[in-house]
Structure 1
Amino acid sequence: MSDVAGAGSLIDVHSHYVPRGWPTLPGPEPRLWLDVRSEREAMMMIGSTEFRRVDERAWDAEARLRDMDADGVDLQVVSPTPVFFSYDLAPADAAGVSRILNDLALEVTAGSDRLLPFCQVPLQDADAACREVERSLSNGHLGVEIGNHVGDRDLDDEGIVTFLQHCASLGVPVFVHPWDMPSTPRSNRWMAQWLAGMPAETHLSVLALILGGVFDRVSTDLRICFAHGGGSFPFWLGRMDNAWRGRPDVIGTSEHPPSHYRDRFCVDSVVFEPAALRLLVDQMGVTQVMVGSDYPYPLGERPVGSVVHAADFLSDAERDQILGANAARWLGLGAPAGDGPESGR
Structure 2
Amino acid sequence: MILDVHTHYVPRGWPDLGWPGAPRLRVDSEREAMILVDSREFRKIQDNCWSADVRLAEMAADGVDAQVVSPTPVFFGYERPAEQAVRVAKIFNDLALEICTDDRLIPFCQVPLQDPDLACAELDRCLEQGHRGVEIGNHVGDRDLDDDGVVQFLQHCAATGTPVFVHPWDMESSPRLNRWMAQWLVGMPAETHLSILSMILGGVFDRVPPSLKVCFAHGGGSFAFWLGRFENAWHRRNDLVGVSEFPPSHYLDRFSVDSVVFDERALRLLVDTMGEERVMLGSDYPYPLGESPVGGLIRSAAFLSDEARARILGGNAAVFLGKK
Give the TM-score band, short-chain normalised: over 0.9
Q: Distance in 2 between matches of 1:64 and 1:252?
A: 46
Partner in structure 2 of residue 233 of structure 1? 223
Which among 125, 128, 147 is matched to residue 135 of structure 1? 125
Q: Which runs of 5+ in 2 are unaligned?
A: none
Which among 10, 21, 44 is matched to residue 18 of structure 1? 10
Q: Percent identity?
A: 65
Q: Distance in 1 between matches of 2:310 and 2:38?
A: 45
Which among 88, 92, 95 is matched to residue 97 of structure 1? 88
1:105-143 residue CA offsets vs partner (Å, 9 max, x unmatched): 001112x10000000000000000000000000001000
Give the C-alpha shift of residue 252 in structure 1: 4.3
Asked whether 1:289 is paired with 2:312, we answer no
The count of residues paired between Structure 1 and Structure 2 equals 324
Which among 51, 58, 63 is matched to residue 60 of structure 1? 51
| Distance verdict in 2 for CA 1:81–1:56, change over 3 Å | same
Asked whether 1:51 is paired with 2:42, we answer yes
- Equivalent pair of 1:212/1:252 in contact (CA under 8 Å): no
Q: Distance in 2 between matches of 1:98 and 1:332?
A: 24
Which among 106, 120, 126 is matched to residue 97 of structure 2? 106
Partner in structure 2 of residue 342 of structure 1? none
Q: Residues 317-328 of structure 1 correspond to what in structure 2 (within 5 A)?
A: 317-328=307-318
- Equivalent pair of 2:235/2:242 in contact (CA under 8 Å): no
Which among 183, 208, 220 is matched to residue 210 of structure 2? 220
Give the C-alpha shift of residue 217 in structure 1: 1.0
Q: TM-score scaled by structure 2? A: 0.99
Q: Residues 1-345 of structure 1 correspond to what in structure 2 (within 5 A)?
A: 9-27=1-19, 29-110=20-101, 112-334=102-324
Give the C-alpha shift of residue 26 in structure 1: 2.5
Q: Distance in 1 between matches of 2:85 and 2:318?
A: 31
- Equivalent pair of 2:138/2:195 in contact (CA under 8 Å): yes
Q: TM-score scaled by structure 1? A: 0.93
Specify the SS of the correspondent of 2:233: helix
Please identify runs of 4+ aligned residues in structure 1 that moved more than 4 A: none
- Measured on the aligned residues, the alpha-carbon RMSD in Å equals 0.6
1:268-291 residue CA offsets vs partner (Å, 9 max, x unmatched): 000001110000000000000000
Specify the SS of the correspondent of 1:216: helix
- Equivalent pair of 2:203/2:245 in contact (CA under 8 Å): yes
Q: Distance in 2 between matches of 1:293 and 1:121?
A: 23
1:142-170 residue CA offsets vs partner (Å, 9 max, x unmatched): 00000000000000000000000000000
- Of residues 247-256 and 9-18 in structure 1, the stretch that sits farther from structure 2 once superposed is 247-256
1:25-82 residue CA offsets vs partner (Å, 9 max, x unmatched): 032x222110001111000011210000001000000000000000110110000000
1:217-243 residue CA offsets vs partner (Å, 9 max, x unmatched): 110000000000000000000100100
Q: Which runs of 5+ in 1 are unaligned?
A: 1-8, 335-345
